[in-house]
Amino acid sequence: MWLWLLALLGLWLLRRWHRERQTVPGLEEKFVLITGCDSGFGNLLARQLDARGLRVLAGCLTESGAARLRAAASSRLQTVLLDVTSSSSIAAAAAWVQERVGQRGLWGLVNNAGIANPTAPNEWLRKEDFMAVLNVNLVGLIEVTVSVLPLLRRARGRVVNVASMMGRLSGFGGGYCPSKFGVEAFSDSLRLEMRHFGVKVSVIEPGFFKTGITNAASLEKSVLKIWERLPDETKASYGDKYWQGFLASMQAADRSCNPNLSLVTDCMEHALTSRYPRCRYAIGWDARLFFIPLSYMPSAISDAFFTQFYPKPAQRG
């Protein structure tokens, strides 16, 4: 009995291995729009796809970031200034993309732009602190996608949305985790809607990778600024040691991040070039062996895990 089950599992894995190594033809004529290409995953992916021969349209927030990317890539790669929190910027970029792709349509969209700060306990934050992150990671992602969806339908192309393991488990306060939960939900509904149009939607779920969005210096400055504006009653309830401990735990998590970004960009490339892309790509041993299993466990267990990293407040109920 067990031998039959192992044989079936082996055949299934062999079939999956064979399917996932089949690539779409004509990659050299396909256009891919990537957001957030100034640094991190987006920058590396843009250079990686350019080296493979695809026609990369790289959205950068700053002209300096765009110039650095152009200098590191071939003449095929083109850049456009794109602020995903600005509707006018998104509309202008969509029109720019339309001019370049023409009737061929847009083969791929990689929604990579993202931020993590402000990050702090929820009670310390204002509405605008949450919105600062949500506008980039979720609202901007949705608006960019909708603006180029007709071009993606024309090409029967691909949408690749960057979520996180924190889109399955919420381990800290602020807008980052809610935004990534939202990315998961939006991607699921879009995948169902686009199924009959031939557009495939994939979600990238990295574990902890060192991308720079949780820079220790900027995190410390942000948390200290938030702490200083809190009412005296709130400060007394938490105590000075709490914000110091919170900051230390976030910095420790940042130090443990995997620096090998190519593990993530390789999955993005697969989602864009494979005939049979996956719906979800969980990346990193921490994601596959720890966070995904933890997400299926009772909340009491995941709560107990995350609570051990939280400092104790000065006053407890």
Identify the sign of the CA torsion 58, 64, 65, 68.
positive
Digit-coded pLDDT (tens) for 230-247 = 999 999 999 988 888 888
Is the separation of the CB atoms in 91 and 66 below 8 Å? no
**151 to each of 46, 131, 180, 253, how far by Cα in Å?**
20, 29, 25, 39
pLDDT above 80 for 81? yes
The residues with which 282 forms a beta bridge, in sequence order, are 205
The pLDDT, as a whole number, for residue 92 is 98
Digit-coded pLDDT (tens) for 247-288 = 888 777 777 888 999 999 999 999 999 999 999 999 999 999
The pLDDT, as a whole number, for residue 138 is 98
Digit-coded pLDDT (tens) for 8-17 = 777 777 777 7
- The closest alpha carbon to 82, from 105, 99, 58, 102, belongs to 58
**120 to each of 1, 123, 132, 156, 236, how far by Cα in Å?**
53, 8, 13, 41, 16
The pLDDT, as a whole number, for residue 214 is 67
Is the separation of the CB atoms in 214 and 162 below 8 Å? no
User: In the chain, how many H helices and how many E strands?
Assistant: 14, 7
The pLDDT, as a whole number, for residue 305 is 87
Active site residue 176: yes
Pairwise pLDDT comparison (305 vs 90), residue with the higher score: 90
- The closest alpha carbon to 77, from 105, 47, 122, belongs to 47
The pLDDT, as a whole number, for residue 249 is 83
Q: What percent of the chain has pLDDT over 70?
A: 98
**46 to each of 24, 27, 127, 214, how far by Cα in Å?**
19, 14, 34, 22
pLDDT above 80 for 316? no
The pLDDT, as a whole number, for residue 317 is 59
Query: Which residue segments constitute the domains of the chain, with CATH numbers given?
Result: 28-213+258-302 (3.40.50.720)
The pLDDT, as a whole number, for residue 231 is 94
Is the separation of the CB atoms in 162 and 205 below 8 Å? no
pLDDT above 90 for 93? yes
- How far apart CA 97 and CA 246 sit, in angstroms, is 43
Pairwise pLDDT comparison (225 vs 16), residue with the higher score: 225
Catalytic residue among 176, 238, 242, 281: 176
Digit-coded pLDDT (tens) for 58-67 = 999 999 999 9
Pairwise pLDDT comparison (315 vs 52), residue with the higher score: 52
The one-letter amino acid at 316: R
The pLDDT, as a whole number, for residue 121 is 92
The pLDDT, as a whole number, for residue 146 is 98
The pLDDT, as a whole number, for residue 12 is 72
- How far apart CA 29 and CA 18 sit, in angstroms, is 25
The pLDDT, as a whole number, for residue 112 is 97
Of 8-17, 69-78, 120-129, 133-142, minimum mean pLDDT range: 8-17
